[in-house]
Structure 1
């Protein structure tokens, strides 16, 4: 049985630790909990003990536990340490190597992998000090998940929300059961995020793509041993460990970067590329008393079709189709026209763009494989495994 030590930090999101424990226990993963003093203001040790079916550890100064060097045992006996929520204060102390309570002492005394799921106010997350601490933790080998974006308990909006328990659980599963290196020696190109087409120095044409699905796919492919080149539009997501990232703004820049990344064994074109651009004005277009300015739209390069018909075409070309109606029918029409082997279609009429889950249809010449609503990390893992199977000699259909 796999075992995790869940360190619960003192934030309003601490209540989500209860659902995370439930998911782990249902999967047969043993859970022991450590709480900070702040965490006990939001969730009680009794609740965590009942859900985990294990003693909850709260103090570095417990006479019985520490007589047996309890913090050392806790730090070594688990297969994975999970910090959720990882507050700004807790991550700052982790980054500085401070050990002034049971949680931080356990974290400093461990040689076990650590996964941290941040949760804090948007301004705290974006503060240079927090970003320095996150960078230091990642350099020290801690896997720090990207926080979710949305409305917070304080009423503000932005990045800083605790990732949903399902997403943290998917990350736990990935760490506890490392994927076989079935893509070792393979080079895979991934595009992700939107493109921004300038109208003038301050305005642009764009879309709501967050880049989360493409980044998750890049991370899942690296987990299988692939060498991944990620061409990313303008998003603020951290680069997944082991991924080579190229940042671009416009569709033409993305097209050039994608072609420049060839040859590749596979191309997974997740980016939501702007279909049109305008000739940008040199200065800011002023609001006048007359009619608004007319924008003459010019068609952008079709990056998927370019890769799908390239002289150095990858063996497997996977396109994405974001649709709001007749999803599968539109994907079928794109399949041959774009020169793709698969089209991954999804309905974006809801909150998929920027959301945490996705329901996809993989359309191939052989038919349609529809998947249920899943966390984007789970979609990425399943898709990476399917790509590995196809490149290993199984049918591309």
Structure 2
């Protein structure tokens, strides 16, 4: 740590008193420490405390320019070898994830090119809130390192995860931790299909399924957060387009293939979450079919096998399929991997309550071509999307090239 230049950001949480101990440890180890405090942090501890512990200036105001020939937040951002924010509140994490710079700390975070480490501290319910989880995933995808909070009795009276890591642990992390990696899909093109398809019977009727598109939209957002250029081809759904994602709306299975086929040769990764209809009416009626006495029979024919077609055409692409099953999960998943030339398939049992179609949660098993599998317990589709992207990561890093060759 000797002579390393470290910015210590302190935000407004009760754990701010631990930041004083961390500043002391860093200074004693020979590091040069500059502390930046938010307005909230100063409600818990004074700048004078950190000034005494670091023997250096404490920054509290973006507009306080003590050296007229320098812009303070740019100067200190360029000076840093590492930046650590401890404690980091939900507010700070949200601002940083969404590019908001409204004080000295957030402007410095956006200006620095040094590795950044975040030590969250908050109530367990806040830490597990979907908005906070999403913001953490965004920052992780951009290469920000997170120092996991501990579990136990929290200042608010709750018991759970959210207690800031101890100063000793943060010090050890800074001393030995590797710089965060860059988003691994940076510069890659990813194609995601999502939602149901509709097979038209007449102007007022169609055949479809229960897919909401939530999983596919979550996967598209996760891939975009990993730096990819994402195209989302989706069947009918009311979901908003994920930020930064190109969206193509389709209706039928044939429409979906027609949209995907011209893009396929130019993409690096395809994740096909769409629930495509297996059959379509042999005839589409131009006018509403009137009811009459007796039964009605509609002759159905097979739709195009989009995943099978992509598997046959596969060259450099990594191809990931999804399988919604009601029985024999592993058997059907393994069969589809081989028949459709997939690199990986994600399977789930849609008969289980509270998961699958239209729900916010899912419980999945990921099967790989080498017959290995990994199960994920019930959790949000957003979290599972990030887990899936982590399982795909080896295809683009190191051994992934060798794995990809074996799968062609």
Q: CA deviation at 1:110?
A: 7.0
| TM-score under structure 2 length normalisation | 0.58
Give the Cα–Cα distance (whole angstroms) in 1 for the partners of residues 319 and 347 of structure 2: 14
Secondary structure of 2:319's partner?
strand
1:326–1:79 CA distance, 2 compared to 1 (3 A): same
Give the Cα–Cα distance (whole angstroms) in 2 for the partners of residues 340 and 390 of structure 1: 13
Among 331, 336, 353, the residue aligned to 2:357: 353
Q: Do residues 167 (structure 1) and 170 (structure 2) align?
A: no
Q: CA deviation at 1:274?
A: 0.5
Among 273, 294, 297, the residue aligned to 1:294: 297
Q: CA deviation at 1:385?
A: 2.2
| Cα-to-partner distance string for 1:321-351 (whole Å, 9 max, x where unaligned) | 0001111111111111111111111111134
Q: How does 1:200-219 map to 2 (within 5 A)?
A: 200-219=202-221
Aligned to 2:380: 375
| Cα-to-partner distance string for 1:14-58 (whole Å, 9 max, x where unaligned) | xxxxxxxxxxx9xx9xxxxxxxxxxxxxxxxxxxxxxxxx989xx
Q: Rg bigger for which structure?
A: 2
Give the Cα–Cα distance (whole angstroms) in 2 for the partners of residues 199 and 280 of structure 1: 5
Secondary structure of 1:340's partner?
coil
Give the Cα–Cα distance (whole angstroms) in 1 for the partners of residues 11 and 349 of structure 2: 36
| Cα-to-partner distance string for 1:180-239 (whole Å, 9 max, x where unaligned) | 321112111110000011111011100110111111111111111111111111011111
Among 59, 79, 93, the residue aligned to 2:92: 79
Q: How does 1:92-103 map to 2 (within 5 A)?
A: none
Q: CA deviation at 1:253?
A: 0.4
Contact 1:166 1:375 in 2 (8 A): no
Aligned to 2:199: 197
Q: Do residues 387 (structure 1) and 385 (structure 2) align?
A: no
Contact 1:79 1:176 in 2 (8 A): no
Q: Do residues 336 (structure 1) and 338 (structure 2) align?
A: yes
Contact 2:94 2:132 in 1 (8 A): no
Give the Cα–Cα distance (whole angstroms) in 2 for the partners of residues 81 and 270 of structure 1: 29
Give the Cα–Cα distance (whole angstroms) in 1 for the partners of residues 335 and 12 of structure 2: 49
Q: How does 1:170-319 map to 2 (within 5 A)?
A: 170-177=133-140, 178-179=142-143, 180-263=182-265, 264-278=267-281, 279-288=283-292, 290-310=293-313, 313-319=315-321
Contact 2:12 2:43 in 1 (8 A): no
1:269–1:81 CA distance, 2 compared to 1 (3 A): closer
Among 365, 369, 378, the residue aligned to 1:365: 369
Secondary structure of 1:79's partner?
helix
Contact 1:356 1:376 in 2 (8 A): yes
Q: CA deviation at 1:392?
A: 2.4
Unaligned runs of 5+ in 2: 1-7, 19-41, 45-59, 64-87, 108-126, 144-181
Q: How does 1:131-150 map to 2 (within 5 A)?
A: none
Contact 1:231 1:257 in 2 (8 A): yes
| Cα-to-partner distance string for 1:160-195 (whole Å, 9 max, x where unaligned) | xxxx96433321322443343211121111100000
Unaligned runs of 5+ in 1: 7-24, 29-53, 57-68, 83-106, 114-163
Aligned to 2:74: none
Q: How does 1:1-40 map to 2 (within 5 A)?
A: none
Give the Cα–Cα distance (whole angstroms) in 2 for the partners of residues 325 and 167 of structure 1: 31
Aligned to 1:45: none
Give the Cα–Cα distance (whole angstroms) in 2 for the partners of residues 356 and 55 of structure 1: 38
Secondary structure of 2:377's partner?
coil
Q: Superposition RMSD on alpha carbons, in Å?
A: 3.6
Contact 2:214 2:381 in 1 (8 A): yes
Give the Cα–Cα distance (whole angstroms) in 2 for the partners of residues 214 and 2 of structure 1: 36
1:80–1:197 CA distance, 2 compared to 1 (3 A): same
